[in-house]
Amino acid sequence: MTPTEKGKKSATRGKTPATDQKKKAARETSSAAAKSPSKPAGKKSAAKKKTTEKSAATTTTPKQAAPKLAPKKTVTKPKTTWEPQLVVFACNWCSYAGADTAGVSRIQHQPNFRMIRVMCSGRIQPAFVLRAFEKGADGVLVSGCHFGDCHYIFGNERAVEQFDKTKNMCKLIGIEEGRIRLEWISAAEGARFAQVINEFTDQVRALGPIPFSKNRPIEQTEDVA
Ligand code: FES
């Protein structure tokens, strides 16, 4: 290496730090410019501030605009759970079998009754019906075979006589006539049984609970037959 070349290299070595310094300075200025809040950044921050202000306004306005609601009044609804309780005296040979037919045929009817099976409708005396009312029944249905179908020949004719007596006694006591009913239902008349039960239940429901009832469920009553 010639001395001239050495001089050139040394000259270049001496120059490089100056260029590096310039580059560093340029980098520093650029980084400073990037870090320093520039105009667009300032716009962004202003926009952010505006949005936060808007959101605050939106959050606060409903509270301010919401009218003061009156305190809720607790409305106590009248109890409408009362359902009529019926007692059905049914002849073993016809009406009881008719109820069975209704059940087997899946015919829908109201379930507000308890059935007492007797061998013939002629067996139903006024005392049976009055005892049912005394024990909390709201209505009593007496049902038997059609005329001519009674297994005991004239049992249902006897039932008519007994029922007339029962009606008179109920009148004397103050029980409405609509609370007792006499019907003839055969073993094949499942649909008719359901219809009679529905009609009589609605009829008694319209009359309301029996005045002297202690509102006891019929399950607690004793057998009157
Ligand atoms: S056997 Fe049914 S009413 Fe007499």
Ordered per-residue pLDDT tens for the chain, 225 residues: 555 555 455 444 544 455 566 677 667 766 555 554 444 445 555 555 555 555 555 555 556 666 676 666 666 655 568 899 999 999 999 999 999 999 999 999 999 999 999 999 999 999 999 999 999 999 999 999 999 999 999 999 999 999 999 999 999 999 999 999 999 999 999 999 999 999 999 999 999 998 876 655 555 545 554
Handedness of CA 191, 196, 199, 202 (dihedral sign): negative
What is the reported pLDDT for 72?
A: 67
Q: At what angle do helices 95-104 and 190-207 cross, to 10 degrees?
A: 100
Query: Which residues have CB under 8 Å from 200's CB, separation 6+?
Result: 86, 139, 141, 181
CB 165 within 8 A of CB 73: no
Tell me how far the alpha carbon of residue 91 lies from the centroid of ligand 1, in angstroms.
6
Residue 122, pLDDT score: 96
pTM metric for this prediction: 0.62
Domains and CATH numbers, the chain: 86-207 (3.40.50)
Residue of 88, 117, 120, 147 best suited for mutating to test ligand 1, as the one with most atoms within 8 Å of CB: 120
What is the whole-number distance in angstroms between the Cα of residue 83 and the centre of ligand 1?
A: 30
Distance between Cα 36 and ligand 1 center (Å):
110
